[in-house]
Amino acid sequence: MSYPSAMTTLIKNPQLHLLNALRADSKPIMTFLGLPSFRTAQVVAQTGVDGIIIDCEHGYISDDSMHSSTAAIAALGVSPLVRLRMTHADLIKRALDAGAHGIVVPQINTAEEARTVVSYSKFPPQGVRGQGSAFPAIAHGIDIPTYLQTANETIITCLQIESKEGVENVDAICAVPGIDMIFIGPNDLALSVLGYVPAKGDEPDFVDAIEKIVAAARKHGKWVGRLSNSGALCKEHLKVFDTVAMSYDIRAMQNWYTAELQIARS
């Protein structure tokens, strides 16, 4: 049985900023949040980004910080997404129950793993997600009954392909119903494909892997995004990708201080 998805839904909700931007093909720009501060979340959300990925995989983000950041970001009209540590049902449930507009799941290597993510992120009959939280409807700007009726087709389910195995299975992964977006983690992908990071960007095996991921996503009608480390790279990558995540809050702070201190001490 087929179900509506974030890519095909006819539901209109102005609160879902990233989803609306993707559907309008307006090339939205996201960033990563790695610091456990709702104030940092507020500051970053006021910069003009379309979405913020709260990084519970590599960032210093606890469960309560994830809840606070999700609420702070959504309250400012920006879409909060949560990058999980892995595919466990409880991690998916906590992120969605906090009100995330989407989840980003790393290190997906097989279609079976992709189907597991879909199952845990959808309410019955499409999946096995349980209901009980009063919070997600707030972050979606709707009441609980409406959230329960619309969540399955408005939450963005995004998988990261970042390994040789993932690239080998990318066509089958992208064919899984309920997956909306594929996201490329270039550093882990380079580490797996090349054995080192960062990639120069022109290594044939690395370029081939990225092109294969993009082609599979396009073939199966999925959005595709990637990490970009600067505004210039974002502009270049958006010629190919539907969305990008521009760097990281921690890296942005480090880069600003490093550059300004060099000027100050010159």
Q: Which residues are annotated as catalytic?
A: 58
Q: How far apart, in whole angstroms, are the C-alpha atoms of residue 245 and residue 252?
A: 13
Long-range contacts from 6-11, C-beta under 8 angstroms, 24+ separation? 6/102, 6/153, 6/154, 6/155, 6/156, 6/157, 6/180, 7/180, 7/221, 7/222, 7/223, 8/153, 9/150, 9/153, 9/154, 11/150, 11/153, 11/154
Q: How far apart, in whole angstroms, are the C-alpha atoms of residue 193 and residue 162?
A: 9
Q: How far apart, in whole angstroms, are the C-alpha atoms of residue 97 and residue 26?
A: 28
**Length reported for the chain:** 266
